[in-house]
Chain A
Amino acid sequence: MSDYVYDLKTAPNRQVTLPITVPLPSLKTYRAEQATAAKAEEAKFQKATADFETAKAKAEVAGTELPKPPVKAAPKREVHDLVTPIPSEAKDPDLLRLVERLGEGAEEAFEQSGELVCQVAKERILEALILCREDAALRYEMLSDETATHFPASSSFAFSVVYHLTSLSRAKRLRLRILIPAGFEPESATQAYPAANWLEREVFDMLGIRFQNHPDLVRILCPDDWEDYPLRKEYPVTGWGQRDIDFRDDRSGRLERLAMEKAGNTGINLKVPKAE
């Protein structure tokens, strides 16, 4: 009975399909994609024109009906109340100011869905946060949210950490973003915004990113003995089996022992693991 080991990690409902794309919104990537798509479209049109020319020549020789010339595909008309938001050039004075002050530290700045995004070099995030709070033209007093995303499909980084800043006096919002490889420890934002304390503990708990100079970096939601980091993409929704532990064993184990003895005498196996 005791030598029967049920391997929960190989259960079918714990198999995960990892994402194959890196959904990181970025103006540079968007432009590159658009350029590639336009080039492909142009190449297709050129080929269609060449085909048309040959077919036309053939038809003239044979004296049959002429084929239709190719037409460039018109952009799709939206019949829905849906306009897909696309990233656009940073025009907001806040973003321009931030880029100007950070210089090389600001890797990218753009606007999408009416939100301001600035991607900062991972080593300079603390400097950027302090700048956002202290600069007289920016004055982002509050850190609303800080969280991270796991990108297993990317080769150059593993996580993106985003900071959502709010300016109460100017009613504006800004998102700072850093991209970090696995094992990199960014500076803790608690030095600029004390609100980051629990938020960073949660990021550590859920994704396993450690922050430098954090006052109290321990797990916050899961128990301290929890295995692995739940919000990573390779982690299954059903977990690694902690939830299937039977808590009904009484503390002394007396009732359990009695029942097991009785069961053993009659040849009943009480401890068959639950088949998944």
Chain B
Amino acid sequence: MSQKNCPTALEQILITTRVEKVMNWSRATSVWPMTFGLACCAIEMMAAGASRYDFDRFGAGIFRATPRQSDLMIVAGTVTYKMAPIIKQLYEQMPDPKWVIAMGSCAISGGPFDSYHTIQGVDKVVPVDVYITGCPPRPEALIQGFLKLQDKIMSSSLADKYKEIFEGLPR
């Protein structure tokens, strides 16, 4: 080991990093999703949280029943015309910072339900961060999508947040 890489006495007790990274790290590793099952995908979401797949390993095991305590809305299922305003309201009730995962082809684009009462994708209602394909996606796919979301959170910048809040630009 070269002299340069050898930690000094000070470095052994201190970690130097950026505030932004610490904030992102703490957010990404304790994302609390909201229990919000709409249709078929909710069963796979439950399976992801249950014994075999154990979603809790990634810090997202605490499914909250109320939007006011959660950071992540997993839209698991078909969004209909009657349900859309309620999803919108739930999203507005969630505290910032908040993220949305569109799980399954129905939430992405209406899926097989190309019909009169189905909204063709939840991104017509709320902004979506991660899309997970499948009908329904396997629990592994949900975990993969969640890891992608963690990457996104880790790479987010406080400057963007500042702009969003103070300059009033939509995300």
Is chain B a partner of chain A in the same complex? yes
By beta carbon, the residue of chain B nearest A239 is B116
Q: Is the CB of B117 within 8 A of A230?
A: yes
CA A258 – CA B165 in complex, angstroms?
Answer: 13
Interface digits, A224-255 against B, CB 8 Å rule (1 contact, 0 not)? Answer: 00000010000111111011111110110011
Q: Is the CB of A247 within 8 A of B117?
A: no
Q: Is the CB of A243 within 8 A of B117?
A: yes
Q: Is the CB of B168 within 8 A of A238?
A: no
- Whether A222 sits at the interface, judged by CB under 8 Å, is yes
Q: Is the CB of B170 within 8 A of A259?
A: yes
Main secondary structure of the interface of B (DSSP, over half): loop
Contacting A239 at CB < 8 Å: which of B87, B88, B115? B115
Q: Is the CB of A223 within 8 A of B81?
A: yes
- Nearest Cβ distance between residue B145 and chain A, in whole angstroms? 22
- Nearest Cβ distance between residue A233 and chain B, in whole angstroms? 14
- Whether B124 sits at the interface, judged by CB under 8 Å, is yes
- Nearest Cβ distance between residue B106 and chain A, in whole angstroms? 13
- Whether B105 sits at the interface, judged by CB under 8 Å, is no
Main secondary structure of the interface of A (DSSP, over half): loop
Q: Is the CB of A255 within 8 A of B84?
A: no
CA A34 – CA B11 in complex, angstroms?
Answer: 97
Interface digits, B3-34 against A, CB 8 Å rule (1 contact, 0 not)? Answer: 00000000000000000000000000000000
Q: Which residues of B contact A255 (CB under 8 A)?
A: 168, 170
Q: Which residues of A contact B118 (CB under 8 A)?
A: 243
Q: Is the CB of B114 within 8 A of A238?
A: yes
CA A258 – CA B119 in complex, angstroms?
Answer: 26
CA A247 – CA B127 in complex, angstroms?
Answer: 11
Contacting B81 at CB < 8 Å: which of A236, A242, A248, A254? A242
Q: Which residues of A contact B115 (CB under 8 A)?
A: 237-239, 243
- Whether B126 sits at the interface, judged by CB under 8 Å, is yes
CA A214 – CA B24 in complex, angstroms?
Answer: 58
Q: Which residues of A contact B126 (CB under 8 A)?
A: 248
Q: Is the CB of A258 within 8 A of B117?
A: no
- Whether B38 sits at the interface, judged by CB under 8 Å, is no
Q: Is the CB of B124 within 8 A of A248?
A: yes
Q: Which residues of B contact A243 (CB under 8 A)?
A: 81, 115-120
Beyond the given pairs A243-B120, A248-B126, 19 more chain A to chain B contacts, judged by CB atoms under 8 angstroms and listed by A's residue number, are A223-B81, A230-B116, A237-B116, A238-B114, A238-B115, A238-B116, A239-B117, A242-B116, A242-B117, A243-B117, A245-B81, A247-B87, A248-B124, A250-B92, A251-B92, A255-B168, A255-B170, A258-B170, A259-B169
Q: 13 A-B pairs, CB-CB below 8 angstroms? A: A222-B82, A223-B81, A223-B82, A237-B116, A238-B114, A238-B116, A242-B116, A243-B116, A243-B119, A247-B84, A248-B127, A258-B168, A259-B170
